[in-house]
């Protein structure tokens, strides 16, 4: 071994110290598996900073840049949730219709209460329907194409 160290221009002491250092491959694999699990458990919304914080809380010692490298190697891409677009305008001075039904959907006779529903489906058609309050029977439908332009 002395001859090999002399050829490589390394001291024998440095070689034997290097042998004592544990290999990081098992630890890196554990960190990678745990990072993937935390990332998936959090709906793929964690970036390198927050993921590094979570890993540090679980006892792994690594920083943001190593976490970023692990994320790149595992192909973990952050998916940010879409913001909800508010479509209701509650701040108006116009009259609000009274709630005459008051969630009493069970009625004694047919044709006493009619309800309507507008369902928005991301297609070229907007289905609309009306239902009778007593029988739940579908009264009519109208599939109208959306106005273009």
pLDDT per residue as tens digits for the range 100-119:
888 877 888 888 888 777 77
Report the predicted TM-score, pTM, of the whole model to 2 decimal places. Answer: 0.47
Q: What is the per-residue pLDDT for 149?
A: 42
CA distances from 116 to 29, 94, 146 (A): 57, 22, 19
List of residues 6+ apart from 35 with CB closer than 8 A: 51, 55, 67, 70, 71, 74, 76
pLDDT digits (tens, 9 = 90+) for 9-32: 999 998 888 888 767 777 888 999
Residue 18 phi/psi, 5° resolution? -65, -35
Task: Answer yes or no: are the C-beta atoms of 127 and 121 closer than 8 Å.
Answer: yes
- Band (146; pLDDT cuts 50, 70, 90): very low
Distance CA 34, CA 60 (A): 10
Higher confidence at residue 26 or residue 124?
26
pLDDT at 145 over 80: no
Q: What is the per-residue pLDDT for 59?
A: 93
pLDDT digits (tens, 9 = 90+) for 50-73: 999 999 999 998 999 999 999 999
Higher confidence at residue 103 or residue 136?
103
Mean pLDDT over residues 78-91, rounded? 83
Dihedral, CA of residue 70, residue 73, residue 76 and residue 77, to nearest 10: 110
Indicate the domain borders of the chain.
25-81, 114-141
């Amino acid at each position: 071994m002395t001859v090999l160290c002399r050829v490589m221009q390394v001291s024998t002491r440095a070689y034997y110290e290097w042998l004592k250092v544990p290999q990081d491959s098992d630890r890196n694999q554990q960190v990678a598996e745990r990072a993937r699990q935390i990332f998936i458990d959090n709906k793929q919304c964690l970036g390198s900073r927050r993921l590094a914080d979570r890993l540090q809380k679980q006892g792994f010692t690594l920083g943001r840049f190593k976490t970023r490298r692990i994320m790149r190697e595992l192909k973990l891409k952050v998916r940010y949730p879409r913001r909800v677009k508010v479509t209701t305008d509650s701040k108006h001075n116009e009259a609000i219709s009274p709630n005459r039904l008051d969630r009493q959907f069970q009625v004694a006779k047919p044709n006493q209460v009619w309800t309507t529903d507008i369902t928005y489906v991301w297609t070229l058609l907007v289905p609309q329907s009306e239902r009778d309050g007593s029988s739940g029977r579908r009264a009519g439908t109208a599939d109208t194409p959306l106005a273009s332009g």
